[in-house]
Amino acid sequence: MNASEYILGKIKAVPDVAIILGSGLSRLAGEIDNPLRIPYKEIPGFLSSTAPGHVGELIYGSIGDKKALLMNGRFHTYEGYSPADVAFPIKVMKQIGINKLIVTNAAGGIKTSYNPGDLVFIKDIINFSFRNPLRGPNDESEGPRFPDMSQAFSKEWMEKANEVIKDNFGAPLEVGTYISVLGPSYETPAEIKMFRKLGADMIGMSTVHEVIVANHIGIEVLGISCITNMAAGVLDQTLTAEEVIEAGRRVSERFVSLVKLIVERTC
């Protein structure tokens, strides 16, 4: 039995959306109705997540009248996984029949007008990992050899979500460009200065490989970054992983209501 057969055997219906929860953003996992938990270690072929703040389980349940499959914990290349390993769950989602994916992450703010606690839609991405999960032979039945990345994040979905957010919370979210690095060391102030010149608004160590595979196989993507800290050198202070996870927790109530609203109204 493969991973998608195992998961479908448990959940018995195709979810309306999959959601990857970033560092410190796992509160949503505790707030969906009728949750069914599937630890990664039970799933054939699945890896285990080792990063702090990443639990390592799928959670299937309801958000309003929608069905969602949550990844509570993701895989990163800094853990030693290959880009293809990191993106493997996205292929499993497609095999299950999922066509919509919300990716979330914790990110450092490069744009100086951002503040820790801000939630920002990801409009575009810079792959500064210089690695690609599609390297190697291509399976044409999955997607093209050279997939388009000019709309890596769905503009239509983002605009629709932002309208709903504006109606319910009074103001839309900011929209920014995420630069993805390998980590695990945080950046130097000089690197952050360079990334700002390159057009990046926020930075993190995840997301890009998942988004490339989602585009390859035809899954629509919406991205949300939680600005957990200002990137290195923006403020005169050092960075710690604890601060990143703690900031994620502080914003989690707003994050949960926002993601629930997006799922209920746009999925």
The contact set with ligand HPA (CB under 6 A) reads 106-108, 186-187, 203-205, 228-229, 231, 239, 244
Residue 154 or 206: the one with the smaller Cβ distance to ligand HPA is 206
Question: CB 261 → ligand HPA: shortest distance, Å?
Answer: 24
Q: Which CB atom, from 72 or from 180, has the smaller least distance to ligand HPA?
A: 180
DSSP code string of 131-153:
--TT-S---TTT--SS---TTSS
* For ligand HPA, the closer CB: 75 or 157: 75
Q: Which of 73, 67, 64 is nearest to 38 (CA)?
A: 73
Q: Which of 19, 44, 69 is nearest to 207 (CA)?
A: 19
DSSP-assigned beta bridge partners for residue 66: 63
Residue 204 CA to residue 184 CA, distance in Å, equals 10
Shortest reach from residue 98's CB to ligand HPA, in Å = 26
Write down how long the chain is.
267
Residue 130 CA to residue 121 CA, distance in Å, equals 23
The residue with its CB nearest to ligand HPA is 108
Of 122 and 244, the one with the shorter C-beta distance to ligand HPA is: 244
Q: Measured between alpha carbons, how far is 127 from 87 in angstroms, rounded to an integer?
A: 14
CB of 14 to ligand HPA, least distance (A): 32
Query: What's the closest the beta carbon of residue 106 comes to ligand HPA, in angstroms?
Result: 4
CB of 182 to ligand HPA, least distance (A): 10
Nearest to 176 by CA among 107, 130, 235: 107
Please state, in angstroms and as integers, the Cα–Cα distance from residue 13 to each residue in 7, 10, 69, 105, 218, following that order.
10, 9, 11, 27, 20
Nearer to ligand HPA by C-beta: 108 or 176? 108
d(CA 147, CA 46): 25
Per DSSP, the chain holds a count of helices (H) and strands (E) of 7, 9
Q: How far is the CB of 180 from ligand HPA (least distance, A)?
A: 9
Beta pairing class for 66-72 and 57-63: antiparallel
CB of 241 to ligand HPA, least distance (A): 8
